[in-house]
Structure 1
Amino acid sequence: MQFILRFGLLAICLWAVACSENSSSASDFDAASICPENLRGTFIDDRDGQVYKYTTIGNQIWMAENLNYDSPHSYCYEGIDNFCEIFGRFYSLMKNEEFGQLDSNLVASVCPTGWKIPSEEDWDILIQVMGNGDEELAAERLKSQTYWGYLRKSGIDACGFNVLPAGYALNFVAPERFGIDANFVSTPNFNSDVDYYNRNIYVESSVGYVNLLGGKISIRCIKE
């Protein structure tokens, strides 16, 4: 009986330690050192004079809002006032907007001078820094505190990255999944000109091929 009691107490203690470790790992995030506010600011896109916010997270510098540059094959939804000023434009980087081959010239020129389309590795580094392997936690810290639908969990925007649920665009109508998720262009880690990836942020961060057959998604540039 004493052995059973002692074993039970040991199990409870081990469970408490594990919970404590999990809790501490979730609270170890220190925004003041990972993304200090003095390393955030604005810059001007010299192509059209637009002003963008940026934030420094770890060793990366990211735009803190979605791209809103009127490039070929981009689309601005006008059904909501100031939509593009808030959520940015939607983009296709495919040749002639056809699924199958990237337009390398468009990939190289769509971001402001000194900025680029992030690679999957760039995104992976960001997710690791923000969540230490926990993609749902990273998504919560990256997501904005506003605009997510009432059934969707808003974020805490710990580093001013401000992920907004713009959804994606199909056939020049109201965005699909608006208020539900965010979708960002990223280039493959390998040498390929046949596709690009979609980094999706919903309740966690996931990745998949863009195969929307004419669909357009958001762009968030990273400093070169």
Structure 2
Amino acid sequence: GGFFGMIGGNANGDGIINENDGSEYWYQEVGQNGYLQSDANLDTQVDNRDKNDVWFPNRGKSEFLPQTGFNNCGDVLIDDRDGKAYNTIQIGDQCWMAQNLNVGNIIPVDTDQTDNPEIEKYCYDDSEANCDTFGGLYQWNEMMAYNSTPGSTGICPDGWHVPTTGEWNTLLGTVDTQYDATSGEWQGEGWQGYDAGAHLKEAGLNHWDEPNLNATNSSGFTDLPSGGRILNATYYAIGLESSIWTSNKTTPGSNDAWRRGCKFNTMEVSLYYANLNYGFSVRCVKD
């Protein structure tokens, strides 16, 4: 979608003021709070005024703007902050993002993420293309937006939050064929469940290494082997395993937090703790 009114400037620089100035230069992904990707109002700034100053005076009866609202689980979620789109999936009573979060600005692997106005992320091998595929990698405090309360929004979009260990247990108990969410199977460290991982992992070998044991993705969760960033400032295990933070520290005030993950050669799901400065994936769940 875009708008059908005439743009009051040569936005695409082709020497002609026509409908192409609108259709080629509206960022469809950014939605109603977005901006034109050129200086359409000729004020030397590329910002939201290019949309407000140019579109509003020229709007007609048939124009529209892309919608960003999220209504039903299964709809595509558009993150108002950057226009990125995420699939969503209903699994039991929960609504999950079906992709890892990818928000923020990339920083090098040897630099810690810090409490500043920007969201910072690692991309495996410092490659933005890996973030586009596997999502960003975040240190725990950055993911939580420096709020240690379990279940906080953190860096998730509005209306979503970082899942707790309990919410993860609910997910695993929903998809596993032998252990429900109330089972003691999901307590303590180690590899857990019978086949929950097989139902969570993306099927096939497009991203997972062989054998990607019995992966079906029957849940629609589409877990990917995003690897992680470890304390010696190196990346590890892309293609082999996933590591996804929970919003729970091991104990209040601890320097460690719990994370869940799948692996290429098992149907089980892991629960281990890791230092807060590791960089892992983030998967958001609906409030």
Alignment RMSD (CA, Å): 2.9
Structure-to-structure mapping, 1:84-123, within 5 angstroms:
84-94=131-141, 103-104=146-147, 108-123=153-168
Give the superposition deviation at 1:191. 7.4
In the alignment, residue 206 of structure 1 is paired with which amino acid? S
Equivalent-residue separation in structure 1 for 2:257 and 2:153 (angstroms): 13
Aligned partner of 1:26 in structure 2 is none
CA displacement, residues 49-82 of structure 1 (integer Å, 9 cap, x when unaligned): 1111100000000000000011634212356572
Equivalent-residue separation in structure 1 for 2:277 and 2:140 (angstroms): 10
Give the superposition deviation at 1:83. 1.2
**Contact 2:145–2:155 (CA under 8 A) maintained in structure 1:** no
Residue 54 (1) aligns with residue 88 (2): yes
Instruction: Give 1 or 2 for the bigger CA radius of gyration.
Output: 2
Equivalent-residue separation in structure 1 for 2:273 and 2:148 (angstroms): 20
TM-score, with normalisation over the residues of structure 1? 0.71
Equivalent-residue separation in structure 1 for 2:261 and 2:154 (angstroms): 23
TM-score, with normalisation over the residues of structure 2? 0.56
How many residue pairs get matched?
Answer: 181
SS at match of 1:140: helix
Residue 137 (1) aligns with residue 195 (2): yes
Give the superposition deviation at 1:40. 1.9
Equivalent-residue separation in structure 1 for 2:177 and 2:166 (angstroms): 15
User: Alignment partner for residue 161 of structure 1, among 221, 224, 227?
Assistant: 221
5+ unaligned residues in a row in structure 1: which ranges? 1-37
Residues 117, 193 of structure 1: alpha-carbon distance in 2 compared, 3 angstrom cutoff: farther
Aligned partner of 2:261 in structure 1 is 200
Aligned partner of 2:75 in structure 1 is 41
In the alignment, residue 241 of structure 2 is paired with which amino acid? D
Aligned partner of 1:125 in structure 2 is 170
Which stretches of structure 1, 4 residues or longer, exceed 6 Å deviation after superposition?
none
Equivalent-residue separation in structure 2 for 1:43 and 1:108 (angstroms): 16
Aligned partner of 2:41 in structure 1 is none
Equivalent-residue separation in structure 1 for 2:80 and 2:73 (angstroms): 21
Instruction: Point out which structure has higher relative CO (alpha carbons under 8 A, 6+ apart).
Output: 1
CA displacement, residues 135-186 of structure 1 (integer Å, 9 cap, x when unaligned): 241110110013111244261111221000111123554x311111110010
In the alignment, residue 122 of structure 1 is paired with which amino acid? E
Aligned partner of 2:59 in structure 1 is none
More helix as a share of residues: 1
Give the superposition deviation at 1:103. 2.3
5+ unaligned residues in a row in structure 2: which ranges? 1-71, 105-117, 180-192
